[in-house]
Amino acid sequence: MLKILLSRVREYKKYAFITPLFMIGEVAMEVLIPTMMGLIIDVGVAASDMDYIIRMSVMLVLAAALSLSFGMLGAWSASKASSGFATNIRRDEYAKIMGFSFADVDKFSTPSLITRMTTDVQNVQMAFQMMIRIFVRAPIMFVFAIIMVYHNGGSLSAVFAVAIPVVMVAISLIFGRSHGYFTRAFKGYDVFNRVVQENLNGIRTVKAYVREEEQLGKFEESAEVIRSNFKKGQTIMALLNPVMMSITFACMIAISYIGARLINIGHMETGELLSIYTYTGQILSSLVMVGMVIVMFSISWASMIRISEVLSTEPSMSLNPDGIKDVKDGSIVFSDVSFGYGKDSKVLSDINLEIRSGDMIGIIGVTGSGKTSLVSLIARLYDVQSGSVKVGGVDVRDYDLEALRNQVAVVLQKNTLFSGTVEENLRWGNAGATESELRWASDVASVTPFISAMKEGFQSHVEQGGTNFSGGQRQRLCIARALLKKPKILIMDDSTSAVDTATDASIRRALREDVKGLTKIIISQRLSSVMDADKIVIMSGGRIEDVGTHEELLSRNAGYRVLYETQTRGGGLDA
């Protein structure tokens, strides 16, 4: 998993590798400086040797300048490396997800994909930056400081042989104990956010039923989970500083005593003792840093797993770029098709259906009868489990996917407009469409009446999801967008449900008269939308129950007759 992620560093590898080098330089200076400071006091000041003081001071200033340069360079390269790393992950994930088939998207779910591309990437970026800066810095600091202590104090380093294991045990106990609480607190955040979100969305419901107090109770519960877990976790973490202080002070006392003896017998200078005090701090704190980084790392672990899952998923459907590019006509043949969304699910079985090029086909049936599944096989949004679907006489799996989808336009049930202008949205169908093509598609889909009433016409702004248009207007825009593709097959999956009957009829009339040769497949709940089709397909329980014209079905299919009667009797004001 780490390999999958780390291979994304790519062109920023050089930054990732020089960062530790800069760190080594910075740390070396940081460790050297206390010794030089000690020397100035011991040798220079003690002997009133002004020359020596000046000489050492110049060196100290140089060392500080070096340390500063290394530090700044390190800061620069670390942020280049980590930002670049995140940028690459984001790019790769995006490209990967764009290559996902519908089935792959279903598997992950859209909200989860969004998290994997946003929050998770930020977490991983932070962990990476910590890694190359601190995880490298701390051990180097540790080693340097130990060497310096040994060099200056010799046997004094024995003190650390005792202190270091104590610190390690203390750190792992404190971090280990508190970690669980923090994890639980973060999970509590999910519930907390959900309660707020649900109340924002459902505020009218809450107020209409006067449920404010009850919701407050729920909210308090979720806030309490956060409070109690943070309290427990932080209470344990509060031990860290006092424990570290105690150990540091204990070391200092031991060093002072032993140091005094060493100085007494002339094995050490007073300045050296002073600098060892500084090293003590460096040694112990570098251990704490390593502990911290490990904790941070474990927090972002879950994010790393989620990202690498996306990156290592092989799209379940290849684009088949070497496939057949030419779709001859709009004829469709289903032979013995069965299909399901997973291995064990069966949504369609024994589907046999022939559709002539240029026909208009209506599909009706209750929710869950397989209408949408059936049509999604035509544009090869999913693959069949067995049998075959042929478009223009060729199995859909033998086409170049892009060529196929360019000829099969699907107006999805859950359709989406994107933020931008009306024209930009329409041009999704065909980026190079001419002005007159735009007009034509708008006319056919009955977009023209409401667009021409808008002040900015085709340049009118569309908000994210098209929320500034009514449901019926959105549906008509989506139909126009699909028409611009100039496809051979147009599939409308309940695409006029919010459009009034008169407009619905005029769209169908235009489709029939102005777009000759186009195979039209219309799924609808309204019989009026499919009544005049060349063939009506009745779906039931994933099978085709009956196929025929309106008149045929009316005379032989009892269910159809009942449906017809209910709909014409109590049909509705906009149905």
Partner 1 sequence: MQDTVSFMRLRQEGVDSMRRPQGGATAKNPIKAMKRVLSLVFGERKAAFAFIILCIIIVAFSTVYYSSFLGTFIDEYVTAIIGVEDPDYSPIVRALAQFAAIVSISVIFSYVLQRIMVKISQDTLYEVRVKMFRKLESLPISYFDRNPHGTIMSRFSNDTDTLNQMISNSLVHVLQAIITLMMLVAAMLMNSLLLSFVVAVFVLITIKATGSISKKSGKQFSRQQATLADVNGYIEEMMNGQRVIKVFCHEERSKEDFEALNMKLFESMSKANTLANIMGPVTMNLGNLQYVALVIVGAVFVMLTGGGHAGYTIGALAAFLQLSRSFSNNVNQMSQQMNTVLLALAGAERIFELLDEESEIDDGYVTLVNVVENPDGSLTESSEHTKRWAWKHPHKDGSPVTYTPLKGDIVMIDVDFGYVPGKTVLHDISLYAKPGQKIAFVGSTGAGKTTITNLLNRFYDIADGKIRFDGININKIRKADLRQSLGMILQDTNLFTGTIRENIRFGRLDATDEEVEAAAKLANAHDFIMMMPDGYDTVITNNGESLSQGQRQLLSIARAAVADPPVLVMDEATSSIDTHTEALVQDGMDKLMENRTVFVIAHRLSTVRNSNAIMVLDHGHIIERGDHEQLLAQKGVYYRLYTGAVELD
Minimum gap (Å) between residue 336 Cβ and partner 1: 26
266 is an interface residue for partner 1 by CB under 8 A: yes
Binding to partner 1 in span 440-469, by CB under 8 A: 464-465
Which residue lies nearer to partner 1 by CB, 150 or 450? Answer: 450
Choose, by CB under 8 A, the member of 230, 382, 399, 560 that binds partner 1: 230
Choose, by CB under 8 A, the member of 7, 155, 172, 205 that binds partner 1: 205
Minimum gap (Å) between residue 231 Cβ and partner 1: 5
Binding to partner 1 in span 476-495, by CB under 8 A: 481, 485, 494
Stretch that binds partner 1, among 128-136, 432-440, 452-460, 543-551 (CB under 8 A): 128-136
Question: From CA 35, how far away is CA 42, in angstroms rounded?
Answer: 10
Question: From CA 457, how far away is CA 436, in angstroms rounded?
Answer: 15
Which residue lies nearer to partner 1 by CB, 180 or 471? Answer: 471
CB 156 within 8 A of CB 259: yes
CB 4 within 8 A of CB 308: yes
Where on the phi/psi map is residue 335: left (φ > 0), alpha (ψ -120 to 50), or beta? beta
Minimum gap (Å) between residue 130 Cβ and partner 1: 6
Choose, by CB under 8 A, the member of 99, 139, 387, 548 that binds partner 1: 99
320 is an interface residue for partner 1 by CB under 8 A: no
Stretch that binds partner 1, among 3-11, 62-70, 334-342, 433-441 (CB under 8 A): 62-70
325 is an interface residue for partner 1 by CB under 8 A: no
Question: From CA 500, how far away is CA 498, in angstroms rounded?
Answer: 6
**386-391 and 394-395 as β-strands: parallel, antiparallel, unpaired?**
antiparallel
CA torsion angle 411 415 419 423 (round to 10): 20
139 is an interface residue for partner 1 by CB under 8 A: no
Choose, by CB under 8 A, the member of 6, 21, 64, 294 that binds partner 1: 64
CB 360 within 8 A of CB 492: no
What are the beta bridge partners of residue 339?
Answer: 348
Choose, by CB under 8 A, the member of 350, 471, 509, 565 that binds partner 1: 471
Distances (CA, A) of 224 to 183, 194, 231: 15, 15, 10
Contacts 24+ apart (CB under 8 A), 263-272: 267/154, 268/152, 268/153, 268/154, 268/156, 269/38, 269/42, 270/41, 270/42, 270/46, 271/37, 271/38, 271/39, 271/40, 271/41, 271/42, 271/43, 271/46, 272/38, 272/42, 272/152, 272/153
User: 157: Cβ–Cβ under 8 A, 6 or more apart, which residues?
Assistant: 146, 149, 150
CA of residue 197 relative to chain centroid, distance: 19
Count of CB atoms situated within 10 Å of the CB of 502: 10
372 is an interface residue for partner 1 by CB under 8 A: no
Which residue lies nearer to partner 1 by CB, 244 or 444? Answer: 244
Minimum gap (Å) between residue 13 Cβ and partner 1: 15
248 is an interface residue for partner 1 by CB under 8 A: yes
Stretch that binds partner 1, among 3-11, 55-63, 326-334, 437-445 (CB under 8 A): 55-63
Choose, by CB under 8 A, the member of 1, 7, 65, 168 that binds partner 1: 65
91 is an interface residue for partner 1 by CB under 8 A: yes
519 is an interface residue for partner 1 by CB under 8 A: no
Binding to partner 1 in span 300-319, by CB under 8 A: none
Question: From CA 527, how far away is CA 303, in angstroms rounded?
Answer: 49
Give 380's DSSP letter.
T
173 is an interface residue for partner 1 by CB under 8 A: no
Choose, by CB under 8 A, the member of 4, 6, 206, 547 that binds partner 1: 206
Minimum gap (Å) between residue 134 Cβ and partner 1: 7
541 is an interface residue for partner 1 by CB under 8 A: no
Binding to partner 1 in span 390-409, by CB under 8 A: 401-402, 405-406, 409
Choose, by CB under 8 A, the member of 298, 357, 421, 525 that binds partner 1: 525
Binding to partner 1 in span 15-54, by CB under 8 A: 26, 30, 33, 37, 40-41, 44-46, 48, 50, 53-54
Which residue lies nearer to partner 1 by CB, 40 or 438? Answer: 40
CA torsion angle 189 193 194 197 (round to 10): 180
Question: From CA 66, how far away is CA 385, in angstroms rounded?
Answer: 67
168 is an interface residue for partner 1 by CB under 8 A: no
Token couple for 167: 């610190």
Sheet holding 394-395, edge to edge: 348-355, 332-339, 386-391, 394-395
Choose, by CB under 8 A, the member of 159, 288, 310, 536 that binds partner 1: 288
CB 38 within 8 A of CB 272: yes
57 is an interface residue for partner 1 by CB under 8 A: yes
498 is an interface residue for partner 1 by CB under 8 A: yes
Choose, by CB under 8 A, the member of 1, 68, 158, 302 that binds partner 1: 68
Of 97, 95, 547, 74, nearest in space to 352 by CA:
547
Stretch that binds partner 1, among 3-11, 173-181, 327-335, 413-421 (CB under 8 A): 413-421
Question: From CA 369, how far away is CA 544, in angstroms rounded?
Answer: 9
Question: From CA 505, how far away is CA 516, in angstroms rounded?
Answer: 17
164 is an interface residue for partner 1 by CB under 8 A: no
CB 284 within 8 A of CB 163: yes
567 is an interface residue for partner 1 by CB under 8 A: yes
245 is an interface residue for partner 1 by CB under 8 A: yes
Query: DSSP letters of 149-182?
Result: HHHHHGGGGHHHHHHHHHHHHHHHHHHHHHHHHH
Binding to partner 1 in span 337-356, by CB under 8 A: none
Binding to partner 1 in span 414-433, by CB under 8 A: 414-416, 418-419, 428-429, 431
CA of residue 546 relative to chain centroid, distance: 44
244 is an interface residue for partner 1 by CB under 8 A: yes
Query: DSSP letters of 225-286?
Result: HHHHHHHHHHHHHTTHHHHHHHHHHHHHHHHHHHHHHHHHTTSS-HHHHHHHHHHHHHHHHH
227 is an interface residue for partner 1 by CB under 8 A: yes
Stretch that binds partner 1, among 63-71, 303-311, 386-394, 433-441 (CB under 8 A): 63-71
Which residue lies nearer to partner 1 by CB, 106 or 354? Answer: 106
